[in-house]
Amino acid sequence: MNHVPLEQGLLLAGMLFVLGLAGLLARRNMIFLLMSLEIMLNAAGLAFVVAGAKWSAPDGQVMFLFVLTMASAEVAVGLALILQLYHHFHTLNADSVSTMRG
């Protein structure tokens, strides 16, 4: 009954993941880094749902729910950290905060 083959769903998830990874490596703006992380988490969730739909099992969607929960908690803390970063350094460039103090 299911018309979407497993391989192509997983291929799409892989492509989205690689796009997110490329954005994470190429961009230096912190907002874009967080958005790329969201793309990668979303691709991982897509892979779970595709695999769950293959065997008509609800487990894939349950795992997607956990990924969603983790992504929302991560983005809340990450955006608060970005606000802190901008407040202290007045830039969003990730390279400008590459050194640690203390």
User: For binding to another protein (CB under 8 A), which residues are involved?
Assistant: 1-5, 8-9, 12, 15-16, 19-20, 22-23, 26-27, 29, 31-32, 34-36, 38-39, 42, 45-46, 49-50, 52-53, 56-62, 64-66, 68-77, 79-84, 86-87, 90, 92
Spatial CA neighbour of 49 closest among 2, 83, 89: 2
Rounded Cα distance between 82 and 102, Å, is 21
Q: Return left, alpha or beta for 77; rule: phi > 0 is left, psi -120 to 50 is alpha, else beta.
A: alpha
Q: How far is the CB of 10 from another protein (least distance, A)?
A: 12
Q: How far is the CB of 99 from another protein (least distance, A)?
A: 21
3 or 101: CB nearest another protein: 3
- Structure token digits, residue 94: 């990730």
